[in-house]
Amino acid sequence: MLQRITRILFFQPLNTSLRFYSTKTMYDFKGKTVIVTGSSAGIGQSTAVRFAKEGANVTIHGRNPEGIEETKQKISELGVGEDRIQVVFGDTVEDKTLQDLVDKTIEKFGQIDVLVNNAGGSSKQEGYDKADISSLDHVLELNLKSVMKLTSIALPYLEKTKGSVVNVSSVDAHKPHPEALNYAVAKSALDAYTRNACCSFAEKGVRINNLNPGWIRTEIKKRGGTSEEGQKKFEETWVKKNVPLARSGLPHEMANIIVFLASSEASFMTGSLIIADGGLQNYSEPQGPAAKTDEEKKEEEEKK
């Protein structure tokens, strides 16, 4: 008998009825409600679509009507109806937008199970980002204070559902990026917020974690003044040289991690800072601004 068992376990392929790992293919978000800020493009859009695919009701948010419509379309293509989608427009640096995100979500769905604080960015000024003190207040408001405010407003509802918060930070919080000084400072503070908040949130049964992406192909670079051509050139000349995986990350790869962190599969994780950067933090030269194309240099000369 023992020989037979040994032969089955070690000398024959395992059949589908004999497994030593979970066969679960879906996360447990059916009937749950998720808010994703900044979900009109990039990581936020991919995250909202992924949560909807996993059965969640989703509140999507942004300032760009075309981008929000695109997100809605992607969700609708999954067979998700309007009854599972709420839309909130506005800038997260405005208190009214933050209150609307919570109020309109509760009004339509009656609960909040997950808050994904994805909205963020660099300065309003031209160029990728500057270490200019004049933009510090805006960068801190956008990347730190708005997150703390929205989380505070949503916390009583998250406590009722024993929910979770996932903040999208940056590898810049761990690896110097002097050209984006204010942004790096804000994201470092966001990491500190999460590590400290997890202690008090735990008493309420609420988890909070951060995802710290590396260089991801998103709209933030274009909004910061980098052209598509300039972004591609930067990837060829800097990313492939300094990122061990030799490529940029993709929004859906970040969404996969966010959904995991919010799920019960990560039930023993809180106050964690998860870096997903293709190895960037471990080996690279100091990161500078995206290289300007000849066309951009010409335009600058003409403006002088």
Q: What local confidence, expressed as pLDDT, does residue 219 receive?
A: 64
Residue 15 lies in a domain: no
Strand order in the sheet with 207-213: 85-89, 57-62, 33-36, 114-117, 164-168, 207-213, 273-276
Residue 110 lies in a domain: yes
Of these residues, 27, 183, 193, 283, which one is catalytic? Answer: 183
pTM: 0.83
Identify which of 175, 63, 180, 169 has the alpha carbon closest to the alpha carbon of residue 123. Answer: 180
Q: Which residues contact 225 (CB under 8 A, 6 or more apart)?
A: 126, 127, 128
Exposed (0-12), middle (13-18) or buried (19+): which is 296, by Cβ within 10 Å? middle
Residue 11 lies in a domain: no
Are 74 and 51 contacting, i.e. CB atoms less than 8 angstroms apart?
A: no
DSSP H or E segment with residue 207: strand 207-213
Residue 18 lies in a domain: no
Residues of the chain whose pLDDT is less than 50? 1-2, 4-25, 126-129
Q: Is 21 a catalytic residue?
A: no
Residue 238 lies in a domain: yes
Residue 44 lies in a domain: yes
Number of domains within the chain: 1
Q: What local confidence, expressed as pLDDT, does residue 20 receive?
A: 35
Q: What local confidence, expressed as pLDDT, does residue 234 receive?
A: 82
Range of the domain at 257: 27-281+288-303
Residue 199 lies in a domain: yes
Residue 90 lies in a domain: yes
Give the C-alpha distances (Å, rounded to integers) separating 85 from 51, 80, 82. Answer: 11, 8, 5
How many other CB atoms are found less than 10 A from the CB of residue 294? 8
CATH no. for residue 71? Answer: 3.40.50.720
